[in-house]
Amino acid sequence: MSEKIEILINEEQLDKRISEIAEQINKEFVNEDITLICVLKGGIMFMTDIAKKLKQKVEFEFIDVSSYSGTVSSGKLTINKDLETSIEGKNVILLEDIVDTGRTLSYLIEYLKEKKPATLKLCTLLDKPSRRIVDVNADYIGFTIPDAFIVGYGLDYDQKYRNLPYIGILHLDNE
């Protein structure tokens, strides 16, 4: 089987859009501290780049929830790593690489609401509304993308391609 990647969003487009999202956040949270919660592993590059553009004091938190095996979402959610500090009373932005079916984020949003943050916003780099099963609305969206398997800039296929500086569509060809 051969794997080919077609560039969907290049580095320049990523940087420009991330700067725009950071500016939105900067305007909304003037002089307010923010806790960024990164959904591992896919959101790590997005979190790093957006955090560098924020003007507020920023705390980092990480949560790991899995629902994928290879290229298929199993639908069963497992928390592999939970938050290490309390988010009660804090301004929280949940950073996700991609909103696909919405199951994972719907679950995470309800889970985090139970921890009583002052505010809870959802920021996703990629939105794939054509695959939505559970209604999830992001407060900040980088790009709306087609129904294709996406890799790069933190997103993987069997743990490969996360390090690509762009976002691409993975084409699998049987040889």
Q: Which residues of 104-115 are buried (b: 16+ CB within 10 A; e: fewer)?
A: bbbbbeeebeee
Give a yes or no: residue 164 inside a domain. Answer: no
Give a yes or no: residue 69 inside a domain. Answer: yes
User: Which domain CATH number covers 106?
Assistant: 3.40.50.2020
Give a yes or no: residue 175 inside a domain. Answer: no
Domain limits for position 40: 11-146
Give a yes or no: residue 120 inside a domain. Answer: yes
Give a yes or no: residue 155 inside a domain. Answer: no
Give a yes or no: residue 56 inside a domain. Answer: yes
pTM equals 0.91
- 74 has pLDDT over 80: no
100 annotated active-site: yes
Domains in the chain, number = 1
pLDDT tens digits, one per residue of 17-65: 999 999 999 999 999 999 999 999 999 999 999 999 999 999 999 999 8
Catalytic residue among 97, 100, 127, 156: 100
Give a yes or no: residue 54 inside a domain. Answer: yes
Name the pairing type of β-strands 2-9 and 72-81: unpaired
pLDDT tens digits, one per residue of 82-104: 999 999 999 999 999 999 999 88
DSSP state letter for 160: B
Which residues, 6+ apart, have CB-to-CB distance to 82 below 8 Å?
A: 63
Give a yes or no: residue 110 inside a domain. Answer: yes
Which residues, 6+ apart, have CB-to-CB distance to 123 below 8 Å?
A: 21, 25, 50, 93, 94, 95, 96, 138, 139, 140, 141
